């Protein structure tokens, strides 16, 4: 049984992730974080595409036959109690498709751990605007699948999944491809986690956390983009 953390509002990664897990044959229970307005640091000009429609994860969970609860992801006791009510007394693997920063009491509920797909290479690109920092640091675009711990963007490495880039790609195109990798690459991450003792997995630590990106640095990313894509294009 996989416990899935999603957002409790229309969100593409959350809904796509549930569908991929269903098609891959996993049984899941779903914990959905209600919307919260947060004060976040500036990540510069968005690489997202506006007005893309997404299903509500609750509707997708219903179609998939997954049990679903809207609950604050900090509520470790509520998550534990509901899991037991659903007949899942022992949580083993969790997966993040939409979540705020999960605290240690929630992480500790899982005997194997909770899997996250970070949008750039760890530990080199911890934090916000990570794909942009990859450009500035001349690192290929990739997703890092890892078992999280209480430190943001640290934990134990499961594997790196390279994000393909092609000549002429825009940042928006690469961002959409990265989103796809974050979803379907989770299947491989789950299978690795099942057979890998946590203590033997490489530890991700040691680099500073990037809290955002300045306007000057964001402009530098735009200027470097063409040469960066040419360097790493397949």
Residue 37, pLDDT above cutoff 60: yes
Mean pLDDT of 115-143: 96
In tens, the pLDDT along 44-77 reads: 677 877 777 899 999 999 999 999 999 999 999 9
Question: Would you say 93 and 115 are in contact if contact means Cβ atoms under 8 Å apart?
Answer: yes
Q: What percentage of the chain has pLDDT greater than the value 90?
A: 87
Residue-level length of the chain: 234
Domain holding 178, by residue range, is 2-232
Query: Tokens standing for 172?
Result: 């928006």
For the chain, the DSSP string reads -EEEEEESS--HHHHHHHHHHHHTT--EEEEEEPP---------S--S-TT-----HHHHHHHHT-EEEE--TT-HHHHHHHHHHTT--S--EEEESS-SPPPHHHHTT-SSEEEEEESS-TTTT-BTTHHHHHHHTT---EEEEEE--SSTT-EEEEEEEEPP--TT--HHHHHHHHHHHHHHHHHHHHHHHHHS-GGGSPEE--S--B----HHHHHHHHHHHHHHHHHH--
In tens, the pLDDT along 75-106 reads: 999 999 999 999 999 999 999 999 989 999 99
- What is the pLDDT at residue 198? 87
| Exposed e or buried b per residue across 51-90, where buried means at least 16 C-beta atoms within 10 angstroms of its C-beta | eeeebbbbebbeebebbbbebebebbeebbebbeeeebee
Mean pLDDT of 30-52: 78
Query: Tokens standing for 144?
Result: 């890092």
- What is the pLDDT at residue 149? 96
- What is the pLDDT at residue 43? 63
pTM over cut 0.75: yes
- What is the pLDDT at residue 132? 95
pLDDT confidence bin for 207, thresholds 50/70/90: confident
The CATH number linked to 60 is: 3.40.50.170
Give the chain's mean pLDDT.
Answer: 94
Residue 134, pLDDT above cutoff 60: yes
Question: Would you say 141 and 121 are in contact if contact means Cβ atoms under 8 Å apart?
Answer: no
Residue 212, pLDDT above cutoff 90: no
- What is the pLDDT at residue 100? 87
User: Cis (ω within 30 of 0) for the bond into 116?
Assistant: no
Residue with token string 């711990």:
149
- What is the pLDDT at residue 41? 56
Domain count, the chain: 1
């Amino acid at each position: 049984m996989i416990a899935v953390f999603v957002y409790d509002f229309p969100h593409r990664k959350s809904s796509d992730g549930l569908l991929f897990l269903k098609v891959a044959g996993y049984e899941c229970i779903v914990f959905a974080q209600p919307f919260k307005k947060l004060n976040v640091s500036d990540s510069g000009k968005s690489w997202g595409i506006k007005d893309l429609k997404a299903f509500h994860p609750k509707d997708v969970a219903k179609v998939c036959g997954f049990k679903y609860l809207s609950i604050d992801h900090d509520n470790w006791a509520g998550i534990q109690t509901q899991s037991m009510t659903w007949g899942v007394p022992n949580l083993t693997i969790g997966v993040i498709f939409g979540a705020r920063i999960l605290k240690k009491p929630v992480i500790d509920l899982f005997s194997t751990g909770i899997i996250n797909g970070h949008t750039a290479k760890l530990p080199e690109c911890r934090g916000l605007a990570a794909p942009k920092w990859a450009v500035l640091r001349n690192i290929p675009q990739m997703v890092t699948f890892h078992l999280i711990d209480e430190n943001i963007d640290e934990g134990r490495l499961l594997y790196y999944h390279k994000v393909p880039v092609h000549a002429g790609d825009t940042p928006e195109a690469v961002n959409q491809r990265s989103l796809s990798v974050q979803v379907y690459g989770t299947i491989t991450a789950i299978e690795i986690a099942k057979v890998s003792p946590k203590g033997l997995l490489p530890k991700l630590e040691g680099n500073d956390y990037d809290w955002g990106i300045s306007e000057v640095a964001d402009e530098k990313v735009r200027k470097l983009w063409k040469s960066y894509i040419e360097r790493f294009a397949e």
